[in-house]
Every structure is written in C-alpha cells, then in structure tokens.
Structure 1
Amino acid sequence: MSMRINKELPSPAELKREYPLSDKLKELKNRRDAEIRDIFTGKSDKFVVIIGPCSADNEDSVCEYVNRLAGVNEKVKDKLVLIPRIYTNKPRTTGEGYKGMLHQPDPDKAPDLYAGILAIRKMHIRAMEETGLTAADEMLYPENRSYLDDILSYEAIGARSVENQQHRLTASGMDIPVGMKNPTSGDLSVMLNSVVAAQMGHRFIYRATDVTTSGNELAHVILRGGVDKYGKCIPNYHYEECARLYELYQKKDLKNPAAIIDANHSNSDKKYKEQIRIVSEVLHTRRYNPDLKKLIKGVMVESYLVEGRQNICANMVYGQSITDPCIGWEDTEKLIYKIAEEC
C-alpha cells in the first residue's frame, strides 16, 4: 500500500477533555468574539490588526511575542483590536519545507502529528491565559480545525485553499469571522464566490458525520496580491483595486461586506519591510474614500521578535521566522501606534 497508518490520533472531544478551557477563558473568548463581530457587522468602527509570525514555530517565543502585543493592546484598545497570528499550519507550494507546529512541534526533528496537536492546543491556551488575547490561525486542513474551534477568534483560508469545496463548506459552519484570500492568480471573482458559498447553509460530510450548517455571515475577503504566469507578483492593495473590489461587492447579495488587506505575500513581493509602507497606503485609502473606510476593516501583518528569516539549523535565532521574513518588534510597535493615530 502507498499509505500506512502511523498512529491513531485522539478525537477533538478527547483532546478538549484533556486540555479544557477554563470558565474564565471561555468568558474571555466570548467577549473577544463579540468585540470582533461588531467590527465586521459595522456596529463598531474599531480597526482590526491581525499581526504576528508567519508561522508559530516555538511556544516560548510566540508567547513572549503575544505578551508584548498585549502590552501595546492596552494602549490602543480604544481604536484597534489586535489579533495575534498564531499560525500552526503552513501551506507549502511544492509540498517541501516546514509545515508548521501541527506537523513538527520541534522544527529540527521528524514530523509527529500526535505531539503536534497537543502542542498547538497547549500553546494557544497558554497565550490566552497569559495575555487575555485570543488568536487567529489558518484553516489549512478543515478536518483539523475542531481541535481549536473553541479557542480561535479568527480564521483565514489561504490562496491555495480558497477554491476547495470542503474549505468553503466548513467555513459556512463557523461562528467567527473567516477571511477568504484571493487565489495566487489574483482572481477576485474566485475569492468572492468563496464568500458566497461560506455565507450559505450546506449539508455535507464532516469528520465522518452528516452535518448541516446555517451559513457564516461574517465570511469576507482578504486581498493578498497575486502572481502572473511568469511568476511576477501583482499587488492588489492600491486604491484602484480596493475601489474595484467595492464595486464587485455591490453586485453580490452578501452580508456584512468587509475586506482585510494582507500587507505581505504577493502584495509586498515578500519584501517584508514594505509592509510598513503598504499599511500606510491602506490607511490613506480609508481616509480618502468613506465607502472604502467602511469596507476595509483591517490589515494583516507578518511580524516577530527579530526581523527577517532564517533556515532551520542547530543554532537558530530565538524569535526569528523560519518561513517568510517578518518585520521585527521595534518596527511592529511603531507601526501599531501609527495605525492607532491615523484610524
């Protein structure tokens, strides 16, 4: 056989019994979810900043980052809602490379998915307990989200997954905001079709059960730039692109029109310092056009303790990305304060 079973994994219910959320953390998540929901439904004019490492690769450095973020959050919470990126699954274009903590809780050791599902739940809970912030993650594998569905306050569906039927249908059963990224081609219609699908109710098979969903009215788009047939990055955060997105939204019968602008990936051509300038341009777009101010609810930024990136090796730099390059903490702090001033 070309597939073999390595180990039977615990069910989400079993893992939640072993590592449960306390009543205090459940109340915290309910408060955070309500605050974030109000932004996407237009009841609140606060601005969302989804920020953190490209991939969560080390519990201690990730939690240190989120602790620092919590300190900044206290100073800007009247204007911003900071959502830390704790991304535990990493999509790989060719299938090669580090696939995230779910696969490899220790990046320089062999994959261990049993240890991985324990590690990611423990890390998310620790971050909540220490900081009072609930996080965002990417729904790379729909069948795995049940291990964290009582913890997360935001989920993203990536450029390589946004056309997948199971991702769209699973998103329709979520009660938190889910952002649909445009595909790597940059096609906005594909992204918007995903939002249409996620906002509808469906009946399908999920984790060997027959389920029915009611639709997710908080499903929205994330602009992350595209790549043409020659491999050249084509950004889509500029004013004209945002205005075009607004026009396309008007033609769709969708609830709570909303967009998040991803300042990295193909928008920055992975030139991580460009994120600072891109966020500034997005803020200018919002100030200039009231319709776009209502549409653009936030930005997504890749940031870590130490700027840049590194390869996996014996002597890795603590708090530096091992996947895409990120801005460092000093730039992160300045950027968040700048966003708060200009919103």
Structure 2
Amino acid sequence: MQKTQDLHVVETRPLVAPDLLHHQLPISEAAAALVAQTRDRIRNILYNEDRRLLVIVGPCSVHDVNAAYEYGKRLVKLRQAFSDQLEIVMRVYFEKPRTSIGWKGLINDPHLDGSYDINAGLGLARKLLLDLADLGLPAATELLDPITPQYIADVISWTAIGARTTESQTHREMASGLSMPIGFKNSTDGSLQAASNAMLAASRPHHFLGINKSGLASIVATTGNPDGHLVLRGGKQGPNYSVQHVEAAAQTLVKQGLNPRLMVDCSHANANKDHGRQVTVLNDVVQQVMNGSKHLIGVMIESHLVAGNQPIPRDLQRLIYGQSITDACVDIDTTAEMLQSLAAAVGQSAEAVGRH
C-alpha cells in the first residue's frame, strides 16, 4: 500500500504527563496563595478597584535558569520596595514565536544545542517558576503552545497572547479556559481589531481539542475568561504609546463593549527595537499617569542583569551571563530607576486625587 502518512515526520517521542511533572515538582501552599492573590490584585487593577499599576518586567526570554533566578532575587527587592504603588510581576518567558526561524525557547530547546529535550525543558520551566514563587515573586509568561498550560499555568499569575497569535482561533480558545488575566497584544501591523476580537472571543465559552492532566487527548470545555485586556506594543506604522494613541484605543474598546483599561509595552515596535528607548516610552507613560490617565493599567519592560543581547555562540561557554539571547533588554539598574519614576508618578497621582 502507498504510504500516505508521516512523510515528513522522522520521530515522535512520548511527552511526560502533566500529572507526573506536578507530582515531581508540586506547588506549595505558599506558592499557590501567592499566585491566587496576585491574580486577584491584577484583576482589581484591571477594573480600577486598585489605583496601583501592574508592571510585567524581566528577560525577553529565559535561556539560563540560574541567571533568571538571580535576576528574580534582585527584582523581588524592587517588588517589595514599591509595593504601595506597583504590582511587580516577573516576565518569565519560555516560548518564543518566530516570524521565520530561530531558537524557540527554553521549553523547546533547553540545552541550546538543537537536541529539543522538551521533557527536560518543561521540568526546568516548572522548577524555576516554583523557585521564584518561593522567593515571593509571581510570574507572567506568554503561552504559545496550547499543550503547555497543563504543565505550568498553575504557577502563572498573568499571561500574554502575542501579536502573532492574537488572530489565532486556537489561542483564543485556549485563553477562554485559562485561570489568570490575559493581555492581548495588538497585531504587528499596529491595528487593534484582532486583539479586540480576541478579547471578545476569549470571554465566551468554547469546546476544543486539548490534553488532560494524564496527557490524554481530550475535548476541553471552557466558561470563557472575562479578564482579557489590550496591550499596546506598536506596529509597522510606528509606536502607539502616546496619550493620543491610548485615548483612541480606549474609545475603540468602549465602542465594542470591552474594558477600556489597557497596558503599554515599552519594548518591541514601541521602542523601535532599540532597548534603550524603553526608558523614553516609560517616561511618556509616567507623564500620562501624573496627568491622571484613567486608561492605563501598567507597563511591560524587557530587562535582564546585563543590557543588550547576544547571538547564541557555538561554544556555549562563551555566553555572557545574564544577557538576553533574544530581544535586547535594559539592565537591572536602569530597570530600578524606571520603576522608581513610575512608582513616584503613581504616588503623585494618588495625592492629587486625594486633594480633590
């Protein structure tokens, strides 16, 4: 008989069951409480019941769990220092969407050598999230593969659906069943239509194909997620973080019956791919906060121990410790200054509201 299947497949390897990984790396009561409480605080910010701002900050992607943990130890001190003004959540990204080709992230290729040891990647990812939670540091991520949430979503407080996947029905369905607030990024062309459609779709119930905790193929039924919101990340036409862009986006959301409160991504097209320009974007947001903007819920910042980025060298011993291998980041000291100015703006805004 003529072969009609697996013509381009060379191998299939069994995937560890989510239940088994959870058994090997269980979430503690303290970590579960941190996740649940952080999600609640983010929702309160989203619905303007908490006047603080949400800050999603950390490496563009995690490739070295030791460096990420060290970064987390620095960040948790800033989280504590600015807790009255900011809800700081560490950006812990394990999956990278690719426009063409490139390294797809720690879960897909944890050893950076093309061995694609995904089972090891899932274990490394889950352990890092638990270690950060034990520090008292909640985590945010972008969920790219719809199977991944079964392994790590219980330790995630906020999720992004990226510019390339916001249009995807699969990701909208997945978002409808996730347990945390979700930021939908505007499309790479800068338009808001796909993100607002995604927010609407994800807020509704869905039935779709997935896996259960035992790793069995399953039909997943969801209730819909009411806590979607827009993330402005700029686009091909340029940045969209100015007060005019924020006002226009809020009005668009209101017309569609969606929550008009939104987040600004200081990186990506808003910074024109120049990591140093994140400071400029943040300063603009600071001004908007001081002027009493009612639409901003927070910001995203790409930040690591060392500024800039680096290609993956053939000799992995030559990797610069604490520097991104994907998008360039600001360093942790610059990050501290950015957070300080944002916290000060929130404080001044609160005082102004108090005087009135």
| TM superposition score category, shorter chain reference | over 0.9
Q: Which residue of 2 aligns with 1:285?
A: 288
Aligned to 1:51: 57
Partner SS, residue 77 of structure 1: coil
2: CA distance between counterparts of 1:153 and 1:250? 26
1:328 corresponding residue in structure 2: 331
In 2, Cα distance between equivalents of 1:304 and 1:6: 35
Q: Which residue of 2 aligns with 1:3?
A: 9
Structure 2 alignment gaps of length 5 or more:
1-6, 212-216, 347-356
Does the 8 Å CA contact 1:104/1:113 hold for their aligned counterparts?
Answer: yes
Match of 2:267 in 1: 264
Percent sequence identity is: 35
Please point out which of 117, 134, 138 is paired with 2:138: 134
Cα distance in structure 2, aligned partners of 1:238 and 1:108: 41
Give the corresponding residue for 1:101. 106
CA distance in 1 between partners of 2:113 and 2:207 (Å): 41
Q: Any runs of at least 4 consecutive aligned residues in structure 1 with deviations exceeding 6 A, and if so which?
A: none
User: Is 1:242 paired with 2:214?
Assistant: no
- Give a deviation string over 1:234-280, Cα, whole Å, max 9, x none: 111112111110110110122x4321111111111111010011011
2:28 is matched with 22
User: Is the 1:46–1:81 contact (alpha carbons within 8 Å) kept by the matching residues of 2?
Assistant: yes
Deviations 1:41-75, CA, capped at 9 Å, x for gaps = 22111101100000011011000001100011111
Q: Could you tell me which residue of structure 1 aligns to residue 310 of structure 2?
A: 310
How far apart, CA to CA, are the structure 2 residues paired with 1:67 and 1:103? 25
Corresponding residue for 1:157?
161
Q: Structure 1 residues 120 and 274, CA, compared in 2 at 3 Å: closer, same or farther? A: same
Q: For the residues of structure 1 that align with 2:20 and 2:274, how far apart are their CA atoms? A: 42
Write the deviation string for residues 313-335 of structure 1: whole angstroms up to 9, x where unpaired: 22111000111100011101111
Q: 1:203 corresponds to which letter in structure 2?
A: H
1:222 maps to 231
Determine helix, strand or coil for the equivalent of 1:180: strand
Q: Using the alignment, how far apart are the partners of 1:135 and 1:105 within structure 2?
A: 19
Q: What is the Cα deviation at residue 109 of structure 1?
A: 5.2
TM-score by length of 2: 0.90
The offset of 1:24, in angstroms, is 2.1
Partners of 1:258 and 1:104 in 2: how far apart? 36
Partners of 2:34 and 2:251 in 1: CA distance: 37
- Tell whether the 8 Å contact from 2:247 to 2:295 is kept in structure 1 after alignment: no
Check the 8 A contact 2:249/2:260 in 1, yes or no: no
Residues in 2 aligned to 1:324 and 1:24: alpha-carbon distance in whole angstroms:
33
CA distance in 1 between counterparts of 2:109 and 2:262 reads 32
Measure the CA separation in 2 of the matches of 1:3 and 1:203: 28
Match of 1:209 in 2: 218
Displacement of 1:167 in angstroms is 0.3
Amino acid at match of 1:337: Q
TM-score (norm 1): 0.93
Tell me, yes or no, if structure 1 residue 32 matches structure 2 residue 43: no
Deviation at 1:107, TM superposition (A): 2.1
Q: Which residue among 127, 152, 155 is the counterpart of 1:148?
A: 152
Query: What does residue 277 of structure 2 align with?
Result: 274
What's the C-alpha RMSD, in Å, of the aligned pairs?
Answer: 1.4
CA contact (8 A) 2:61 2:94 kept: yes
- Please give the alpha-carbon distance, in whole angstroms, between the structure 2 residues aligned to 1:80 and 1:342: 10
Tell whether 2:200 aligns with 1:196: yes
Q: How many angstroms apart in 2 are the aligned matches of 1:284 and 1:268?
A: 17
Q: Could you tell which deviates more after superposition, 202-211 or 167-176? A: 202-211
The corresponding residue for 1:231 is none
Greater Cα radius of gyration, structure 1 or 2: 2
